[in-house]
Chains A and B, each alone.
Chain A
Amino acid sequence: MARIRLDHIRHAYSPDLAKANNYALREVDTVFEDGGAYALLGPSGCGKTTLLNIISGLLTPSEGHVRFDDTDVTLLTPEARNIAQVFQFPVIYDTMTVRENLAFPLKNRKVPKAEIGPRVEDMLRRIGLEAKADRKARGLTADEKQKISLGRGLVRSDVNAILFDEPLTVIDPHMKWQLRSELKQLHREFQMTMVYVTHDQTEALTFADKVVVMYAGEVVQIGTPEELFERPQHTFVGYFIGSPGMNVLPCDLDGGDAIVSGERVKLPAGLSARAAKKRIELGIRPEFVSLVARGTGIPVAIEKVEDIGSEKIVRARLGEHRVSAVVAEDHAIPTDADIAFSAERLNLYADSWLVERG
C-alpha cells in the first residue's frame, strides 16, 4: 500500500505531438493518499485513462515523475510497481478455472504452494464465487468475470494500489449497483488505495471519497462529492456534476453587483473586486434557484417544465441565456414568474475558474 504522488506529469503520445504542444495530459500534479478511494471523472478523451495507465506503468509519461511513497517508480514496469488493474472488458484466462485464475498472479510470483491455497480460498469467499471455483472462467457472466479480474488483483495482499478502468461498462444495469457496493465493501476491508476511472458521475460520486475531475488533459478539481456540488472550482465541474448542471451566466460587474442581461444581481461582499478585468460568469445550481411572484425577482420567460417524478425542472430564458431551476413536485408553476437566487450559493467565475471569497 502506498501514497501515490504524481509529480508534474505531462504526456504526449508521440514526440511530434509534444512538439505541436498537443498533450493528452497537459499537467497533472496531485497526490493520492494511502488507502483512499479516488475516482477519476471526466468526459471521453479528457486523459483519465492515460493518467491511469501512467500510474499503473503501462505508459511512461513524457515528463514528470510518479512516486509510490518515496520511491520513484516512473521507469518501473507494471509488475515491479506491484499494482493491480481491472480493465473495461473483463480479462480472464479462458482455459483456466476460476480457482486457477486467482492463483495465477501468485504462482507467477513464486509464492509457496502452501500459502496460495488458503489465500485463493479466502478470495473466492470474498468475491462470492466459491460455488463456481472449479468451473472454467470463460463460461461465467460478465459481472462474475469482472469479479475474477478484481480478485486477481486483491489476492496479492501487498499490492500498492488497485486501478479500475471503467470496470462496469459491460455490466447489466441492475448488477452495477450491487457490484459497486461490493467494491465499496472490499475497499473497507482491505484499506487499499483505489483509483477508479469513469465518465459516469453517479458511479464516481457513490464510489469515491474524493473525486478527481478532469477536463481537457488537466485536473480541474479534487474534492469530496459535496465540495464538487457546492463549490465547483471550474465552470466545467459545475456543468458536469449534477443533473441538470449548474447555470453558468456571463455577466458584467458593477460595483458590488453583477449585471446579467441587464438585470442586477446582488453579490456576497468581497467577491467583485478580485475578479476585475476578466471574463466573468455567474454560477448557480438549479437547486438554489427559486420561482417567485412576478415583480419580486428577476423576470424570465418559462419555456418548458420537465416533471421527473420527485421534482420538476423548470427551463427558462433570461435574456439570451438559459436558466434551469429545480422546484418541488407540488410547487405550482405560474405562467409568468420571476426567479431568485439564494445569495450565499452564488459562485463567481473569472476565466472559468472560481473566484474565492475574501
Chain B
Amino acid sequence: MEKTWNNKAWFFVLPVLLLVAFSAVIPLMTVVNYSVQDSFGNNQFFWYGADWFREVLTSERFHDALIRNLLFSAIILAIEVPLGILVALAMPKKGIWVPVCLVLMALPLLIPWNVVGTIWQVFARTDIGLLGYSVDALGIDYNYVRNTFDAWVTVVVMDVWHWTSLVVLLCYAGLVSIPDAYYQAAKIDGASRWAVFRYIQLPKMGRVLLIAVLLRFMDSFMIYTEPFVVTGGGPGNSTTFLSIDLVKLAIGQFNIGEAAAMSLIYFLIILALSWIFYTVMTNAGNDKPMTGGGE
C-alpha cells in the first residue's frame, strides 16, 4: 500500500527548532566561529584553524587553572556529600520541627551568589569580620588576602555553607520516601544502626545522591561569582579557577579567539566528567551481565 506523506507535520516542529536554535545552537556556533579565527580589532577576522585549541591545551596557565578546579570540586564533594547525608539523617522525620528545619536548610540556597560572596568577604576579614576577627583573636595567623591556604579555606568553607543544604534536602527527600516496613524488617533481622544505613538508607538514597553529586560537581566546576567576589582569584593566581581565568582572557585581554577555544574545551570537560559520574554511579550496584542469560 502507498504511504501518504504529509509534510505539513514539519511545521509543528518549527517552534521547538527555533527555541533550541536561539537558546543553544546559535550561541554555541558563535563561540565555535570565534574559536577558529583571530581578530586584530576593527571587526576584522582571520582564519586561524585549530591553533587556538593547540595553544590552550598546551598552556601552563590553563593546566594550572584546570588542576585548581579539579582539586576544588574534589574537596567540595568530599565534604558536602558526607556532611549532607549526616545532616539529613539527623533531621526529624515528623513533627513540628520538620518545616522549621526545611526552611532553615533552604535559606542559604535562596541568597544570590554575589551576596554570598560579599557576606563572606566581610565575614572573614580580620579587621571588621566576625569570623576573621575571632580566628585572629585565637592566635591563629589568618589572612585570606595574603595567604594562599587561608584563601582556599575561606572559599571552600563558603561553598560548604552555601551548598551543603542542597545535598541535605535531596538526601532528606530520599530518606523520607523509605517505607516503614524496611526499618521494621531490619529490626526483626537484628540489623545494627550501621547496617540499616549501609543496606537500606544508602541504597534507597542512591538516585537522589546521584543527582546531588552531579549538580554539586557541575556547579563547583563552573564556580565563578563567589571566589571572584571574595578573593578576586588571588592571592596571585591561587584561587583563579577556569571560569575566572576565562573572563580575564575574554574581557580583560580581549583575546576572543583563545577564550572561545577555552570555553569549548571547558564545556567538553564538564560534559565528559558528568557523563563518567553518571555512568559509574548508575552501574555501581547493578548485576554484571550474566553469561547464558537470566530472565
Q: Type the 1/0 row for B259-295, where 1 means its CB is closer than 8 Å to any CB of A.
A: 0000000000000000000000000011100100011
Q: Is A108 a contact partner of B190 (Cβ separation < 8 A)?
A: yes
* Complexed CA–CA distance, A108 and B287 (Å): 25
Q: Is A135 a contact partner of B294 (Cβ separation < 8 A)?
A: yes
Q: Which residue on A lies nearest to B182, using beta carbons? A: A91
Indicate whether A356 reaches chain B with its CB closer than 8 angstroms: no
- Stretch with Cβ within 8 A of A (4 or more), from B9-17, B102-110, B195-203: B195-203
Question: Which residues of B lie under 8 Å from residue A149 when comparing CB positions?
Answer: 185
Q: Is B287 a contact partner of A135 (Cβ separation < 8 A)?
A: yes
Question: Which residues of A lie under 8 Å from residue B192 when comparing CB positions?
Answer: 108
Question: Which residues of A lie under 8 Å from residue B294 when comparing CB positions?
Answer: 132, 135, 139
- Stretch with Cβ within 8 A of B (4 or more), from A82-90, A204-212, A250-258: A82-90
Known A85-B188, A104-B191, A152-B189: A136·B181 in contact at CB below 8 Å: no
Q: Type the 1/0 row for A118-136, where 1 means its CB is closer than 8 Å to any CB of B.
A: 0000000000000010011
For residue A133, give the distance in angstroms from its CB to the closest CB of chain B.
Answer: 12
* Complexed CA–CA distance, A135 and B179 (Å): 24
Q: Residues of A within 8 Å of B, CB-based: how many?
A: 28
Question: Which residues of A lie under 8 Å from residue B285 when comparing CB positions?
Answer: 94-95, 136, 138
For residue A238, give the distance in angstroms from its CB to the closest CB of chain B.
Answer: 34
Select A87's contact among B184, B286, B287, beta carbons within 8 Å: B184
Q: Which residue on B lies nearest to A92, using beta carbons? A: B185
For residue A325, give the distance in angstroms from its CB to the closest CB of chain B.
Answer: 44
Known A91-B181, A93-B200, A94-B204: A78·B287 in contact at CB below 8 Å: no
* Complexed CA–CA distance, A41 and B166 (Å): 46
Known A79-B188, A93-B200, A95-B199: A139·B181 in contact at CB below 8 Å: no
Known A93-B200, A108-B195: A77·B187 in contact at CB below 8 Å: yes
* Complexed CA–CA distance, A231 and B75 (Å): 74
Question: Which residues of B lie under 8 Å from residue A85 when comparing CB positions?
Answer: 184-185, 188
Q: Type the 1/0 row for B191-224, where 1 means its CB is closer than 8 Å to any CB of A.
A: 1100100011001100000000000000000000
Q: Is B199 a contact partner of A93 (Cβ separation < 8 A)?
A: yes
Q: Which residue on A lies nearest to B202, using beta carbons? A: A95
* Complexed CA–CA distance, A69 and B39 (Å): 92
For residue A99, give the distance in angstroms from its CB to the closest CB of chain B.
Answer: 13
Indicate whether A297 reaches chain B with its CB closer than 8 angstroms: no
Q: Is B190 a contact partner of A105 (Cβ separation < 8 A)?
A: yes
* Complexed CA–CA distance, A221 and B195 (Å): 42
Indicate whether A96 reaches chain B with its CB closer than 8 angstroms: yes
Question: Which residues of B lie under 8 Å from residue A331 when comparing CB positions?
Answer: none
* Complexed CA–CA distance, A345 and B246 (Å): 93
For residue A221, give the distance in angstroms from its CB to the closest CB of chain B.
Answer: 29
* Complexed CA–CA distance, A96 and B203 (Å): 10
Q: Is A108 a contact partner of B191 (Cβ separation < 8 A)?
A: yes
* Complexed CA–CA distance, A149 and B184 (Å): 12
Indicate whether A277 reaches chain B with its CB closer than 8 angstroms: no
Indicate whether A58 reaches chain B with its CB closer than 8 angstroms: yes
For residue B235, give the distance in angstroms from its CB to the closest CB of chain A.
Answer: 46
Within A49-95, the residues touching B (CB, 8 Å) are 56, 58, 77-79, 83-85, 87-89, 91, 93-95
Indicate whether A113 reaches chain B with its CB closer than 8 angstroms: no
**Interface centre among A93, A135, A149, A152, by most B CB within 10 Å?**
A93
Question: Which residues of A lie under 8 Å from residue B295 when comparing CB positions?
Answer: 139
Q: Which residue on B lies nearest to A149, using beta carbons? A: B185
For residue A108, give the distance in angstroms from its CB to the closest CB of chain B.
Answer: 4
For residue A124, give the distance in angstroms from its CB to the closest CB of chain B.
Answer: 16
Question: Which residues of A lie under 8 Å from residue B179 when comparing CB positions?
Answer: 89
Select A91's contact among B185, B286, B287, beta carbons within 8 Å: B185
Q: What would 25 A/B residue contacts be, using CB atoms closer than 8 Å? A: A56-B188, A78-B184, A79-B187, A79-B189, A79-B190, A84-B188, A85-B185, A88-B181, A89-B179, A91-B184, A93-B199, A93-B200, A94-B199, A94-B203, A94-B204, A94-B285, A96-B199, A104-B191, A108-B191, A108-B195, A135-B294, A139-B294, A149-B185, A152-B189, A153-B188
A-B pairs, top 7 by smallest CB distance, nearest first, are A108-B190, A91-B185, A87-B181, A105-B189, A93-B199, A94-B203, A79-B190
Extra inter-chain contacts (16) besides given A56-B184, A87-B184, CB under 8 Å: A56-B188, A58-B184, A79-B187, A79-B188, A84-B188, A85-B184, A88-B181, A91-B182, A93-B199, A93-B203, A96-B199, A104-B199, A105-B188, A136-B285, A136-B286, A153-B188
